[in-house]
């Protein structure tokens, strides 16, 4: 599917990824990293509570390290990756036993860990974990507003009616549960949520909202919020990528044409706004200064664009595939560290425009970068 002149670059880049993951997996085998401290992976599983009840073992990114390991197992066949990944998966059992602190992001946590384990090895305990997580996610569904509630009760915000664009990546857990059990309820909930997002989050120009508030008692749309972007009505780039990639995943699981059309609409907006150097800002509508960038948005977008290219007619494929390769090459050239001074690959990720930390290491940036590169090489990666 990729051009001949790009094949050698893909092979060389994947080889560099495999070489680094070989030693960093051993170094961090007892951790569940989120970021780095002085270049060394931290351990989110060893934190009881930092900023709130959802931190620590319940932290929403805690599935991505396991996902990276399963990608490496799939690529290399080395059982050490399966062993380390399964240790991560077992640590997450504490989330089930504690219960308090679990949230809408169980898809991010359990698809790259338990469900990936089950798909690749047939582990029945992993299947059980995945189905348990799917039932927890389905329990967050608001049947009046037809959305999955985001977050839990906080000290100040009432989030009972909040839904977020990110959850398009959690609902594949529900699609999988329906496919696995032949029970349509999970898929029905996932599709109703996707339909609500399609109607209420996607603007006419193809940009998307991060947060939309509904009245939890009536389902009426109240307003939207800027969330992790620059402000209300802006264009948080990672949110665009959750949309373009998320909707093509829903299309793959359901065959509903409107989902693919929506993914393409968001993708066209994203492609049109890629800067000349290929480095993606935190928000397409942020001020010129400070010019914060976000490598996670570039990596996620690349993976989604590759998936769209797989679904469209032959004459359309190059539009999406070439954009994906452009983003990945910019990351590889400018922001990727394959050496031993830093345990992470991507060096300039940003969690939110108005956060205190910018352009640092975030584990899901690495996950999506590796996933996208392996998609270009193997064409058979199935996590979501």
Find, among 177, 300, 299, the residue nearest to 247 by Cα: 300
Distance in angstroms (rounded) separating the CA atoms of residues 143 and 344: 41
Nearest to 141 by CA among 97, 90, 177, 116: 177
How far is it, in rounded angstroms, from Cα 334 to Cα 69?
Answer: 24
User: Can you name the residues that pair with 281 across neighbouring β-strands?
Assistant: 293
- Would you name the residues annotated as active-site residues? 105, 166
First to last CA, the chain: 21
* Phi-psi region at 39: left, alpha or beta (left = phi > 0; alpha = psi -120 to 50): left
| Contact predicate 371/383, CB 8 Å | yes
Nearest alpha-carbon partner for 251 in 147, 315, 172, 143: 172
What is the C-alpha R_g of the chain?
19
Q: At what angle do helices 257-272 and 237-254 cross, to 10 degrees?
A: 150
Quote the tokens at residue 66.
């396991």
Tell me, rounded to whole angstroms, the distance of Cα 186 from its chain centroid: 20
Query: What residues contact 23, with CB distance under 8 A and at least 6 apart?
Result: 340
Q: Who's near 359: CB < 8 A, 6+ residues apart?
A: 292, 293, 347, 348, 349, 350
SS3 of residue 372 by DSSP: helix
């Amino acid at each position: 599917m990729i051009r001949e002149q790009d094949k050698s670059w893909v092979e060389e880049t994947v080889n560099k990824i495999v070489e680094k993951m070989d030693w960093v997996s051993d170094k961090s085998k007892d951790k569940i990293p989120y970021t780095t401290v002085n270049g060394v992976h931290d351990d989110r599983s060893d934190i009881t509570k930092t900023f709130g009840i959802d931190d620590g073992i319940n932290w929403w990114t805690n599935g991505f390290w396991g996902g990276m390991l399963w990608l490496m197992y799939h690529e290399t066949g080395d059982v050490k990756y399966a062993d380390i990944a399964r240790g991560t998966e077992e640590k997450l059992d504490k989330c089930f036993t504690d219960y308090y602190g679990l949230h809408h992001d169980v898809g991010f946590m359990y698809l790259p860990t338990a469900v990936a384990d089950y798909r690749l090895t047939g582990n029945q305990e992993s299947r059980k974990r995945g189905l348990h997580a799917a039932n927890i996610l389905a329990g967050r569904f608001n049947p009046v507003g037809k959305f999955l509630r985001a977050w839990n009760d906080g000290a100040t915000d009432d989030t009972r009616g909040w839904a977020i664009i990110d959850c398009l990546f959690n609902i594949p857990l529900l699609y999988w549960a329906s496919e696995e059990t032949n029970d349509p309820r999970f898929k029905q909930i996932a599709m109703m949520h996707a339909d609500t997002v399609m109607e209420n989050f996607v603007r006419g120009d193809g940009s998307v909202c991060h947060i939309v508030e509904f009245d939890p008692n009536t389902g009426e749309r109240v307003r939207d919020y800027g969330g992790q972007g620059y402000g209300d009505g802006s264009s948080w780039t990672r949110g665009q990528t959750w949309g373009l990639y998320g909707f093509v995943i829903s299309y793959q699981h359901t065959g509903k044409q409107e989902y693919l059309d929506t993914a393409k609409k968001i993708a066209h907006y994203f492609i049109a706004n890629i800067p000349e150097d290929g480095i993606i800002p935190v928000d397409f509508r942020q001020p010129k200064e400070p010019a914060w960038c976000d490598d996670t948005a570039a990596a996620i977008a690349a993976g989604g664009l590759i998936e769209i290219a797989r679904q469209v007619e032959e004459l359309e494929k190059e539009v999406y595939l070439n954009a994906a390769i452009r983003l990945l090459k910019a990351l590889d050239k400018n922001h990727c560290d394959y050496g031993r001074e830093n345990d992470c690959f991507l060096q300039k990720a940003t969690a939110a425009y108005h956060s205190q930390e910018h352009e640092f290491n975030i584990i899901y940036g690495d996950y999506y970068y590796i996933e996208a590169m392996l998609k270009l090489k193997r064409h058979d990666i199935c996590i979501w």
